[in-house]
A and B are shown apart, each in its own frame.
Chain A
Amino acid sequence: MKRLFCATLYRMWKSTGTRIAFLITYVAAILYFVLARMVAVGKLGVEQAGSVSGLGDAMIIWLSGSLVIGLLVGSDFENKTIHGAICFGRKKIIGNYVAVFAVLVALLALPYTIGSLACIFAGIDMTGAEQAAISVYLGNVLIYTKGASAGKLILSYLSYAMVYVGQLSICIPAAVKLKKPAAVTAFGFFLGMLSALLATLASKVEILDNIYKLTPYRYNMETLGIGGSYGDMLLAVAVSVVFAGLMGLLSWKLFCRAEIK
């Protein structure tokens, strides 16, 4: 399994598509904090904050994450490199997809984590950029006070990275079924927008809200930012792990007797 994991990471590292996804994410993260700061100091008008929020993690990680999962699974089928991995057994292949995917999503979230930590520890004031803050990362910068513990800050970031893994894990069975990187990316991005709409709807319909609470899609910056409770953060991690596990199980179910072309 370790050999499969390392070889898959190597394959992803060598993929042009993966490098583009990471480049987009890292550049977007830098721009996000720079532009949010410009909004905060008044160099950009508040009316621009909406556009700035489009570079936030909530949008970019869904986009690059679904591209990465499309490449991870889809290109394995397209290039037939899965022929070399099949001797490990189908169960291990799916387990490996989930594990590699979790690592890659955590790495995609890294520039936002570093950016917000840099702002916090350099004492960069973001007050005024609230409207660009549909992000737990910028949210933490906005509400950080010297009294907040570093431990809680780290837990906040870890739990949010895990929530992204949980949220995006729905793309794994889709990728196993669709087998085309572009189709998976489109599916993931559409789902990202749909989940935001469903969250709004769930807040108005109780039964939908109860279902929504069992998924990682309900977690946002209010519950996972440093203003939230430890209990919420741990619950978010647990829900995300269980959800990603279920998606892995569903993927295996789709894959266990599937034809590999």
Chain B
Amino acid sequence: MSKSIKVVGVGGQGTILLAKILTTVLVNAGYDVKMSEIHGMSQRGGSVSSEIRFGDKVNSPVIEKGDASILVSLEQMEAARHIDYLNKDGILIVNNYKIHSMVTLNGKVKYPNNIIDELSKQVKTYVVDGTKQAIELGFDKVMNIIILGALAKALGISDLKWEDAIKENVKPKFLELNLKAFRLGLSQVN
């Protein structure tokens, strides 16, 4: 059996690094892992996603709708857009942050304001103030690592060496900050 985790966000938010660390930790733990992402055009402020599947043996590198046990969204509206990938018994982890798209920026359409309330009615949802906490830590870009911490907790697999995996994937001068962010994220999910 394989398990699927989908990570979504907006180009530039760090979905790829988050997915890379998750992949590293699973590979290091001996799982068969496949990870899929689309890059190219969509990185320019568009909607982006990475898909991670792991288990004893994984065939398809892509996740089917209704198959993800965890959906991680670094942005509110992206969680709503991709919610159909989540299994109805799955977990949503969402960064409590809005990024406008061209159509909401210019006020033509309003950015929906009840996303998190509505989604929490549909599925088990953990809301993390990742962006706010990252700014408080002194660097808004570590938001993705705070969310990774929340994911690590929600995933609930013991014996995964998360901090080693972070070390493998971030520059040494940012390591301490990233570890701090990760630990902060861990404490957000009960």
Pairing of A with B: no
Residues of B within 8 A of A (CB): none
Chain A residues with CB under 8 Å of chain B are none
